[in-house]
Amino acid sequence: MISKIKNFKNSIHSNNFRILAAILLVLLLATGAYSGSSQAAKVSPNLLPAKPTKVTYHHPPKSVVHKVRFQPWAEPTRQQIDLIMSHEQEIWGGISLYDRINCESRFDVYATNGQYRGLLQIGSWWESVYPYDTPRQVSLKETRLVKKPVIKLTTFSDQHVEREIVRRKNLKVIIIRKGALPVDADPYHAWAAIRVGQRAISGVGESTGWSC
């Protein structure tokens, strides 16, 4: 009988130990889970994707002006001759020199026929009008249209910025070339010859006669 009582007491102590161990294990697991969830709560914001916080658009200006110093063309291309003629006619008035230059020299800057030289086959009277009676300053304005991008700038919560071209728009580029005709230019200098010729044909400068 005494033996049974002792066995019963041992059984109770053993069960109590098992229960206590189970409780301790549950407490340890619960503490670990809390600690893990706390760490996850601290780390998770850094793992979230960055969100846009600001969007701006960068637009190119409507126009820009470039001022350039240049030497007026002495030996221009055919296209440049047209530009010079149009420019000088706009300044001094009168009819276009196109037909006269075409007849006199076929647009050959170095055309020569005895004393007659250059685009307009100007003779000895050149020295009486240039440079003394001929303004030498030149200001040529040219306008171009170029395409420039409109850029979208997106700033994110992690401070990085993304650029995106959303469209392109026209930008007016104004080029103003300023220079002066040389003092010692001769009739072979195309721009100087066209200026002298346009002033003559418009009645502003000294008049002359051409065979054409």
**pLDDT given for residue 196 in this prediction:** 95
User: Cβ neighbours of residue 104 under 8 Å, at least 6 residues apart?
Assistant: 111, 119, 120, 121, 210, 211, 212
Beta bridge partners of 178: 69, 139
Domain ranges in the chain? 2-48, 53-202
103-157 tens-digit pLDDT: 999 999 999 999 999 999 999 889 888 988 899 999 999 999 999 999 999 999 9
23-75 tens-digit pLDDT: 666 566 655 544 444 454 454 556 788 999 999 999 999 999 999 999 999 99
11: left (phi over 0), alpha (psi -120 to 50) or beta: alpha
Reported confidence tier of residue 78, pLDDT bands at 50, 70, 90: very high
Nearest-5° angle of CA 47, CA 53, CA 58?
A: 130
